Amino acid sequence: MAELLMPKLNNNDTDYVLTAWLVGEGERVAEGQPVAEVETSKASQELEAQAAGTLRPLVPEGARCRPGEVIGEVVAEGARPSRPRPAAPAAPAASARAEGGPAARAEGGPLVTRPARELADRLGVSADRLAALDVPVVRREDVQALADAMHGPREPGAANGPGAAEASEPSGAPAARAPAAAGEANGVPLTRVQKAVARAVELSHRTVPAAYTVVRMDLGPALARARELTREVRRPVGLAELFVQRVAALHGDFPRFFSSIDGTTAFPAEAPNIGVTVDLGEGLYVPCLHDAGNLTLREIATRLTAHRLAATKGGFDERDLTGANFVITLHTEGDVVLAIPFVFPGTACALAVTAPSDGTLAHIGLAYDHRLINGRDAALFLKALKNSVEGIV
């Protein structure tokens, strides 16, 4: 018998929603087979069986589960279950859910998670449309895609930096703009992604004593080389790709810039895992390029392209969004000349990259945890980075 435990998927959430059992109760599963799907504040993740046997769910779909909680077990052939049946038996993925519960099934259609159902009600997406979707579980992003198809795509947010809130909801959705009753405050609820950003911003400002240093870099030669590299590697190469490569190369000389701190103890990272902000109007994501120092420029460009595509529909795996020990924030709109990012919890630094204001010169700033890094350290790091970037030929 092997217990199926809820893993710890990120540092932002204290619990997660079990959105679906992918295998029915009593069905046989193989080791490594996905058996459940879990939704965090950022992404969806499949959980795999750790052994072969018969699946026995112990919590229902829609339940909130904490890391380490036993949510099911896989019983080997001929063995007896080790845990008593819960008071409210867990329903397999094929069972219907009662209306108004954590998840509900549109008649003859897929399971609809509670957040998806609430968004559908708010945006005027009918149950018939949900029932027609060819997916086993309807989530918020599926509802949003339906609303976009009905009313046109959502307008991009007005701001693009870390922690920037989305400025609008899909056009043609009056329920999202008007109060439900006279006298009620007219507001727009934050999206799931933006709620995660809000928690990170709040935690950062509460716990990280940050400082900031900025230098001016001549990016003209680097941008010219980026255009050549785009043709050579047949992948889009720009400032994001170049800065990921150059920052990762500094890991050996500046290990504290890739460290985390707990009280009075610093924990250096074995490899540079570089997070890069992606904001395409659907909320801020920070996907991570793990062990970036060992990636070729072609591999960096390929992964960042995949992350940008995933950001358009929120299609990230949880691993894509965790593990960063250094973050690069992009502020490359033409009129942005200076940006001060927050230091993401669990990291020591956030590098703000802006576009050249006159075609060559740009202000590149470093926000850093002052407990780990002092001003002289920051200046030396930025000088080394400046020499590296300006030396690209």
Mean pLDDT of 221-236: 90
Mean pLDDT of 369-388: 96
For 199-235, b/e burial (b = at least 16 CB within 10 A) is: ebbebbeeebebebbbbebebeebbeebeebeeebeb
The whole-angstrom separation of Cα 319 and Cα 331 is 24
Report yes or no: 245 and 229 within 8 Å, Cβ to Cβ: no
Res. 294: pLDDT tops 50: yes
Q: What is the pTM of this model?
A: 0.60
73-82, 217-226, 238-247, 320-329: least confident range: 73-82
Res. 61: pLDDT tops 60: yes
Q: How would you list the strands of the sheet with 111-113, edge to edge?
A: 103-105, 111-113, 137-138
Res. 12: pLDDT tops 80: no
Q: What integer pLDDT is reported at residue 182 of this predicted model?
A: 41
pLDDT digits 0-9 by tens, 40-55: 776 778 888 888 999 9
The whole-angstrom separation of Cα 207 and Cα 348 is 12
Q: Which domains does the chain have, with CATH numbers?
A: 2-75 (2.40.50.100), 103-180 (no CATH), 195-390 (3.30.559.10)
How many Å separate Cα 256 from the centre of its chain?
A: 25
Most confident of 28-37, 183-192, 362-371: 362-371
pLDDT band at 153 (very low <50, low <70, confident <90, very high): very low
Mean pLDDT of 12-40: 85
pLDDT digits 0-9 by tens, 105-136: 445 567 676 667 777 877 778 887 777 776 66
Res. 213: pLDDT tops 50: yes
Q: What integer pLDDT is reported at residue 258 of this predicted model?
A: 96
